[in-house]
Structure 1
């Protein structure tokens, strides 16, 4: 029964991931949009921490973790986010609901395999610039998705290595309307980019006992620079904008030839270390370095540049009593964490930072190793300085993690 449910969810997710608009951030105007968190609700609830080992939850951030799983795992996660956007003079609220990941992980004795689909970036903005003589309106939709295949091998009881191949694909559409006051018609420009590309992620995972209860664990990942190919098209038309915002085409749209381009996805390194009694508690810290220096916008935009970015996160969990069969709440996993990120995006000489506090709970499903995970994240991005926009966001995440035993030899037919 559970396999039928997963197949159905795979189909729904595959369709939804291609169509959903999972960003309402004005900062998704730049580059390939808002870069999405590549991880589970469990990781996100601990400040996006990925260094803590787990035998029943998949870790999407480090491919070396798959061989640490004890059971085949199916996971699907989604989130609901409210955004408050502020300038020095204005304030707006937005909401969005998204599907964040679908994954299947299959462990054997020493090898772990994983396959899944994750949104990588999302574009979703609606902006306007108005002066005494003219007006510009900007709207963007779409994003980039990742389909991945991962493999991990346990070299010893303490050390695992892994690699993940990722196929990137998606479409980004940006639309701008230019109007001059007193002129009846406006000019509309639509730019479309269809993106494809491949990249790889490698990882290592190490853990050892410090005493009979407490373990030390560490991890590292490396994502080399990759190329994203963009097949671009542009259409320009004369339109008339109605009082309610509707558009009427005055003459046939003109297709303008624009060159196809390539973008460099940045090199990324991560290092983490932690300590804990894994069936009781664990804490850890992680640093991620991103080489954004060669990153650029799809089309030239002199108002923004990129520099190297970084992320620092702390987190952990606590379980009152994992084997308390008569007390449900003692088996609940309580998670929390902090995250600070320098995105590397620089606008009007102002660096865009993103910081958040996170929390979450894991609710066990009775009679199985499956569970329901709920996460909460409150954070802010950007600033009102230098004519920018500050975002305050609150996200509620929800995930189902199913576990099953595969490759078990039958004793009886």
Structure 2
């Protein structure tokens, strides 16, 4: 069975890689540095992206660096994954289908001492890949309209180092340092009356952000956790070309002109979570996060950044009646994720809601598993100048566990 799982997982991941040529993304990635990625480590996508209070005892939990204090001794953990998304975009006048493959993450973790652990992870932070055609928008202080056509690509990457330390058996604390870097390419055409203005812009970003966290075991079945992501300034610079076309005459206003632009500000974020295990091998996770986007004092031409609230709840279950039976070791999972979004467009919040189910298929008698999850969600709404997204997402990842530095009992 273990070889079948390994072959199946490798085949699916390679198939998804070949599918990546059809990449596309949300039209809401037009804002800021793009649409932000969810966490897809281990079982997390199956339980509604909850898990602030889960220890890294069987997988790498990137939601809380303090979880690394519970890494098992002599174990080396490796996690890699990807996800495929099929989305239906609906506006008041038309419907469009798009497919999307996204690399999810690459990470490894290992214990430093019997009470501490370290991890390194690389993952996308945001995606600014979008395509918008002939979007009708009102001119400010006017009864007239203009039409926007825009395409974008790129986004930010997140390369982070995390360390967690456990005091005794109950309290663990940790910290992460994240390097955010990348660029976006943005082409926009504005049709105003009989004149077209074209703007080609490439923007480069780089910056650092810190996270601290803690977990406390109240008893053997109940753990609470908390995280605090520090506000950060992401430096930005751009190269821009601007042209206008009127009466078939092309006028170049700027040509590859470098300049500084307003830096991008990440908000402070506060999260709390609970993990509760019940006697019948059922575990519940419950998270709440608050992102203080209002404090960044940022706005976009087409919308504003507003404070965001996110709620997530998840459940996992495994029979574990007979550990020699494969299906008794399989873990089943389900979750719900609700957030009111950090964007407000035309006075309307871009809400997001999703449900998820998943399986964790064990490989050998270690912590190695192949995780697969399915999510269905809705983002935005159908109204004037807004788009509703209905998406189906399949997340796949391999969580591999190796045992190091053990002496052989028989020479």
TM-score, structure 1 normalization: 0.85
Measured in 1, the distance between the counterparts of 2:222 and 2:253 equals 66
In the superposition, relative to structure 1, how do residues 295 and 384 fare at CA in structure 2: closer, same or farther (>3 Å)? farther
User: Counterpart in 2 of 1:245?
Assistant: none
User: Counterpart in 1 of 2:58?
Assistant: 56
Contact kept, 8 Å, 1:359 with 1:375, in 2: the verdict is yes
Structure 2 matches for 1:66-145, cutoff 5 A? Answer: 66-70=68-72, 71-107=75-111, 108-129=113-134, 135-145=147-157
Of the candidates 231, 236, 243, which is equivalent to residue 225 of structure 1?
231
Q: Deviations over 1:228-265 (max 9, x none)?
A: 0001111124689xxxxxxxx99897233532331210
Moved more, 164-173 or 63-72: 63-72
Measured in 2, the distance between the counterparts of 1:109 and 1:128 equals 57
Of the candidates 369, 372, 377, which is equivalent to residue 370 of structure 2?
372
Q: Deviations over 1:360-408 (max 9, x none)?
A: 0000113433110001110000011343100000100100011011233
Contact kept, 8 Å, 1:21 with 1:122, in 2: the verdict is no
In the superposition, relative to structure 1, how do residues 232 and 296 fare at CA in structure 2: closer, same or farther (>3 Å)? farther
Structure 2 matches for 1:320-331, cutoff 5 A? Answer: 320-321=319-320, 323-325=322-324, 327-331=325-329
Give the deviation of 1:23 after TM superposition. 5.3
In the superposition, relative to structure 1, how do residues 99 and 133 fare at CA in structure 2: closer, same or farther (>3 Å)? closer
In structure 1, the gaps of 5 or more residues are: 241-248
Contact kept, 8 Å, 1:364 with 1:372, in 2: the verdict is yes
Q: Deviations over 1:5-60 (max 9, x none)?
A: 9xxx9xx99xx9xx999651011011111011134141111011112335111101
Local SS of the residue matching 2:66: helix
User: Counterpart in 1 of 2:302?
Assistant: 303
Contact kept, 8 Å, 1:263 with 1:296, in 2: the verdict is no
In the superposition, relative to structure 1, how do residues 141 and 20 fare at CA in structure 2: closer, same or farther (>3 Å)? farther
User: Counterpart in 2 of 1:333?
Assistant: 331
Measured in 2, the distance between the counterparts of 1:142 and 1:380 equals 24
1:383 counterpart = 2:384: no
Measured in 1, the distance between the counterparts of 2:179 and 2:24 equals 21
In the superposition, relative to structure 1, how do residues 311 and 44 fare at CA in structure 2: closer, same or farther (>3 Å)? same
User: Counterpart in 1 of 2:189?
Assistant: 177
Task: Point out 4+ residue stretches in structure 1 off by more than 6 angstroms.
Answer: 19-22, 131-134, 180-183, 249-253
Contact kept, 8 Å, 1:20 with 1:98, in 2: the verdict is no
In the alignment of these two chains, the number of paired residues is 383
Local SS of the residue matching 2:169: coil
Give the deviation of 1:127 after TM superposition. 0.6
Local SS of the residue matching 1:379: strand
In the superposition, relative to structure 1, how do residues 54 and 135 fare at CA in structure 2: closer, same or farther (>3 Å)? closer
Moved more, 86-95 or 34-43: 34-43
Local SS of the residue matching 2:67: helix
Measured in 2, the distance between the counterparts of 1:87 and 1:101 equals 32
User: Counterpart in 1 of 2:3?
Assistant: none
User: Counterpart in 1 of 2:170?
Assistant: 158
In the superposition, relative to structure 1, how do residues 190 and 336 fare at CA in structure 2: closer, same or farther (>3 Å)? same
Measured in 2, the distance between the counterparts of 1:379 and 1:267 equals 26
In the superposition, relative to structure 1, how do residues 136 and 154 fare at CA in structure 2: closer, same or farther (>3 Å)? same
Contact kept, 8 Å, 1:23 with 1:123, in 2: the verdict is no
Moved more, 146-155 or 255-264: 255-264
Local SS of the residue matching 1:293: helix
Moved more, 304-313 or 231-240: 231-240
In structure 2, the gaps of 5 or more residues are: 1-5, 137-143
Give the deviation of 1:199 after TM superposition. 0.7
CA RMSD of aligned residues (A): 2.9
Measured in 2, the distance between the counterparts of 1:153 and 1:344 equals 33
